[in-house]
Amino acid sequence: MTKIGIPSLKKFICDVLAQCGVSPADSATTAEVLVTTDAWGVFTHGTKALRRYAQKLRAGGLKAQGRPAIVRESAAWALIDGDASLGMVTGVFAMNCAIAKARTSGIALINVRNSCHFGAAGYYAQLASRVNMIGMAMANDVPSVAAPGSKGPVLGSNPFAFSAPGGSHPPFLLDISTAVVAGGKVKALMAEGRPIPPDWLIDLEGRPTTDGNLYPLQASLSFMAGHKGYGLALMIEVLSGVLSGAAVRDKVGAWTTDVPARVTDHGHTFLVIDPATITGANTFPGGMSSLLDGIKECPTVAGAGALKIPGEMEAARAVQAEAGGIPLPDDVWESLQGAAQDAGVALPE
Amino acid sequence: MTKIGIPSLKKFICDVLAQCGVSPADSATTAEVLVTTDAWGVFTHGTKALRRYAQKLRAGGLKAQGRPAIVRESAAWALIDGDASLGMVTGVFAMNCAIAKARTSGIALINVRNSCHFGAAGYYAQLASRVNMIGMAMANDVPSVAAPGSKGPVLGSNPFAFSAPGGSHPPFLLDISTAVVAGGKVKALMAEGRPIPPDWLIDLEGRPTTDGNLYPLQASLSFMAGHKGYGLALMIEVLSGVLSGAAVRDKVGAWTTDVPARVTDHGHTFLVIDPATITGANTFPGGMSSLLDGIKECPTVAGAGALKIPGEMEAARAVQAEAGGIPLPDDVWESLQGAAQDAGVALPE
């Protein structure tokens, strides 16, 4: 574990991205997304991916000077082409567009094509709850998850995130993979030398396996809750892939394993609702306070403490990280060392 | 098992509802929802509930002459008060409103308060896919599901449904409970004399139990996929309860166990997207055909056949039911016998 202050870590990311030709504004946006994710303790989706993003930027699989742009739009929706720029840049652009439209229309749907891996879906959802709106974010990905009865991967671990302001509580932030776990967690357990649970992986014959080395080429993740997770992943594929006009299923580029020069054409979906428009100002925050108060008062088993609101642990970790730095796990630190070496820039202190 | 033709079953429902003072139009709407659900083979959410709805109509917990109405609206959203009318009547009214708004706005969100149990969420979602749109439906309910670490129920088994036109395939229709199973399935297994799986129920001390007799008063369902299902159920509570201004958590009336005179104040959320508006006509159906073709071509384990698209089995059952009648399970038939007796109307032939 290596503890790094938030400003140092952001500066390092901007240095690496500047070396790849990314503008200061886009670098700052990307640093904000990745470092916030690390500050939440979601290390599988934070700065660990920087090295790979930088490799793709240098090889042209991501366009350093790409500019996401609106292709078609109306008051309550827009279709955006990400121009193969960093997924974080396109994701923030799209979510800001959704928030602006929801302020006038009450609800807004943004579909995105020609993007790449965008990190943690929850980051985008919480951009809405920060401004007292409700946000959702979804993305498709290259298949890595086996459906009930399939021999190999059928769909990506297509993530889903939802956030709503918590009233007198911290924001409610749900960020889940439709796979039984995110693929990064298989690698995280292996990096820690811990065993893979028996219901996580399915080999190419459709049999459960605990051999993490088989993932992702010779084993697939399982879906969460069997056919339910499969159905939710397919919903996300419909919205983020088909409706956005992005690549679908095996046409999506594998951002971690393909040649870095390949453009991935990931699709995303963002949805924002402005409660103040629909319910009138102040009604919704009071309702959220009351709902979450009730959850906190539910009896729990001995030693469990009050029930957690999704996002509560992450918010508490972010407060600690703000004060005392982020405790980066070894695999993240090693990845940052590689990124520093590749770019010829100094590691953060 | 008792096999009943679709027209006979619809007429019976209309007869019972007429005896309760419901108009012919609202009776026909309700019959269409409940019989379609039975035709899909989703017997836990179809005509089995008719007797209870009729009891509530007679006692005033449902208003036979209730009229759902728009409270506030804009181009892309509306807030509807169900006026304590049948959940099926309010659900269809709301979904038709969503479809009309999506046709002009591209997307529409409808929030509903003061409704009741509306049957199968999937019915409403597929009203959109029938007209080449994408639909979602959600509802909250009285708590029956334990969160990870809780001693008792925390949230309802809050259902989520999604449907999209399938292009050259049948519509994609996902209809899931956020509980590990719908509560009706516990009763269905018990009615069939089959054991309850060990991960379905949690007793009031937070321990797993296989005693189905404890449900729902002394045991809770578990969430699907643990904290993920809990988070999704909480999302549905936020959208359908808090945002709609409906009752929330334990304030929702228990439509099966409370005194029939009690109004339940359930909340619903409906969301419709018109792909033709966003992508231009014809792009989306082709994309859906291609996506589902790809799923059907995925290799499967021996004997499994091609992967199922969610909703495919239900659509096949509906075709059989149209031709040869619906094979009603004994518990459904007994409930219909009770409804016939209560109302003094003849059973369907």
CA distance A53 to chain B (A): 28
Task: Give the domain extent around A41.
Answer: 2-179+223-279+316-343
CA distance B28 to chain A (A): 31
CB contact under 8 A, A174 and B224: no
CA distance A86 to chain B (A): 24
CB contact under 8 A, A134 and B239: yes
Predicted pLDDT of residue A109: 98
CA distance B77 to chain A (A): 7
CB contact under 8 A, B238 and A288: yes
Query: Per the domain annotation, does A99 fall within a domain?
Result: yes
Residue A249 tokens, joined: 């299923």
Query: Alpha carbon of B177 to those of A225, B245, B323: distances in Å?
Result: 11, 22, 29
Q: If you measure CA to CA, which chain A residue comes closest to B296? A: A154
Reduced to 3 states (helix: H, G, I; strand: E, B; else coil), residue B237 is helix
- Residue matched to tokens 């083979």: B41
Query: Per the domain annotation, does A295 fall within a domain?
Result: no
Please indicate if any CB of chain A lies within 8 Å of the CB of B70: no
CB contact under 8 A, A245 and B205: no
Give the residue from A284, A290, A150, A162 showing the smallest Cα distance to A227: A150
CA distance B166 to chain A (A): 10
* pLDDT higher than 90, residue B188: no
Measured between beta carbons, the chain A residues lying within 8 angstroms of B300 are: 149-151, 206
Please indicate if any CB of chain A lies within 8 Å of the CB of B168: no
* pLDDT higher than 90, residue B329: yes
| pLDDT tens, position by position, B166-184 | 999 999 999 999 999 877 7
Among B75, B149, B291, the residue with its CB nearest the CB of A248 is B291
Measured between beta carbons, the chain B residues lying within 8 angstroms of A308 are: 149
Predicted pLDDT of residue A302: 86
Residue B191's pLDDT band (boundaries 50, 70, 90)? confident
Better pLDDT: A227 or B182 = A227
Number of domains forming the structure of chain A: 1
Q: Pairing relation of β-strands A77-81 and A107-115?
A: parallel
Residue A191's pLDDT band (boundaries 50, 70, 90)? confident
Please indicate if any CB of chain B lies within 8 Å of the CB of A227: yes
CA B316 to chain CA centroid, Å, is 19
- Residue matched to tokens 């139009």: B25
Least trusted range by pLDDT, from A191-195, B8-12, B41-45, B299-303: A191-195
Predicted pLDDT of residue A268: 98
* pLDDT higher than 80, residue B66: yes
pTM, two decimal places? 0.97
Query: Per the domain annotation, does A14 fall within a domain?
Result: yes
Please indicate if any CB of chain B lies within 8 Å of the CB of A286: no
Query: Per the domain annotation, does A44 fall within a domain?
Result: yes
Q: Is the peptide bond before B148 cis (omega within 30 degrees of 0)?
A: no
- Residue A326's contacts (CB-CB under 8 Å, 6 or more residues apart) are A3, A4, A5, A6, A9, A35, A38, A39
Please indicate if any CB of chain A lies within 8 Å of the CB of B197: no
Residue A110 tokens, joined: 């943004």
Looking at residues A154-182, what average pLDDT do you find? Answer: 96
Residue A185's pLDDT band (boundaries 50, 70, 90)? confident
Contact predicate B33/B175, CB 8 Å: no
Q: Tell me, what CATH number does A173's domain have? A: 3.30.1370.60
What is the CB neighbour count within 10 angstroms for residue A67? 14
Summary mean pLDDT of chain A: 96
- Residue B106's contacts (CB-CB under 8 Å, 6 or more residues apart) are A74, A76, A77, A109, B76, B273, B274, B277, B278
Degrees (nearest 5) of the Cα angle B305, B307, B313? Answer: 90
Among B150, B164, B290, the residue with its CB nearest the CB of A299 is B150
Euclidean distance between CA atoms B32 and B175, whole angstroms: 18
Query: Alpha carbon of B53 to those of A126, A185, B160, B348: distances in Å?
Result: 40, 47, 22, 18
In degrees and rounded to multiples of 5, residue A179 shows phi and psi of: -75, 165
Measured between beta carbons, the chain A residues lying within 8 angstroms of B233 are: none
| pLDDT tens, position by position, A7-31 | 999 999 999 999 999 999 999 999 9
Among A109, A238, A308, the residue with its CB nearest the CB of B107 is A109
Measured between beta carbons, the chain A residues lying within 8 angstroms of B164 are: 235, 238
Contact predicate A302/A293, CB 8 Å: no
Predicted pLDDT of residue B112: 98
- Touching B: A residues 124-163, CB under 8 Å: 134, 147, 149-152, 154, 162
Degrees (nearest 5) of the Cα angle A122, B173, B126? Answer: 105
Please indicate if any CB of chain A lies within 8 Å of the CB of B17: no
Predicted pLDDT of residue A55: 98
Give the residue from A290, A266, A287, A268 showing the smallest Cα distance to A276: A287
CA distance B1 to chain A (A): 27
Euclidean distance between CA atoms A305 and A13, whole angstroms: 38
Euclidean distance between CA atoms B87 and B72, whole angstroms: 19
What would you report as the CA-atom Rg of chain B, rounded to the nearest whole angstrom? 20
Interhelix angle for A87-105 vs A121-129, to 10°?
Answer: 30
| pLDDT tens, position by position, A43-96 | 999 999 999 999 999 999 999 999 999 999 999 999 999 999 999 999 999 999
Query: Per the domain annotation, does A255 fall within a domain?
Result: yes
User: What's the 3-state SS for chain A?
Assistant: CEEECHHHHHHHHHHHHHHCCCCHHHHHHHHHHHHHHHHCCCHHHCHHHHHHHHHHHHHCCCCCCCCCEEEEECCCEEEEECCCCCHHHHHHHHHHHHHHHHHHHCEEEEEEEEECCCCCHHHHHHHHHCCCCEEEEEECCCCCEECCCECCEEECCCEEEEEECCCCCCCEEEEEECECCCHHHHHHHHHCCCCCCCCCEEECCCCEECCHHHCCCCEEEEECCCHHHHHHHHHHHHHHHHCCCCCCHHHCCCCCCCCCCCCCCEEEEEEEECHHHHHCCCHHHHHHHHHHHHHHCCCECCCCCCCCCCCHHHHHHHHHHHHHCEEECHHHHHHHHHHHHHHCCCCCC
Query: Per the domain annotation, does A192 fall within a domain?
Result: no
What is the CB neighbour count within 10 angstroms for residue B280? 12
Question: What amino acid is encoded at A230 in this protein?
Answer: Y
Contact predicate B315/B171, CB 8 Å: yes
Ramachandran assignment for A225, one of left (phi > 0), alpha (psi -120 to 50 degrees), beta (any other): left
* pLDDT higher than 90, residue B150: yes
Please indicate if any CB of chain B lies within 8 Å of the CB of A70: no
Query: Per the domain annotation, does A190 fall within a domain?
Result: no
Predicted pLDDT of residue A323: 96
| pLDDT tens, position by position, B75-98 | 999 999 999 999 999 999 999 999
Please indicate if any CB of chain A lies within 8 Å of the CB of B199: no
- Residue A341's contacts (CB-CB under 8 Å, 6 or more residues apart) are none
Residue B114's pLDDT band (boundaries 50, 70, 90)? very high
Measured between beta carbons, the chain A residues lying within 8 angstroms of B283 are: 245
Predicted pLDDT of residue B317: 98
Reduced to 3 states (helix: H, G, I; strand: E, B; else coil), residue B222 is strand
Degrees (nearest 5) of the Cα angle B303, B309, B315? Answer: 100
Residue A236's pLDDT band (boundaries 50, 70, 90)? very high
Least trusted range by pLDDT, from A280-284, B154-158, B257-261: A280-284
Query: Per the domain annotation, does A103 fall within a domain?
Result: yes
Predicted pLDDT of residue A8: 98
Q: Say what percent of chain B tops pLDDT 70.
A: 100
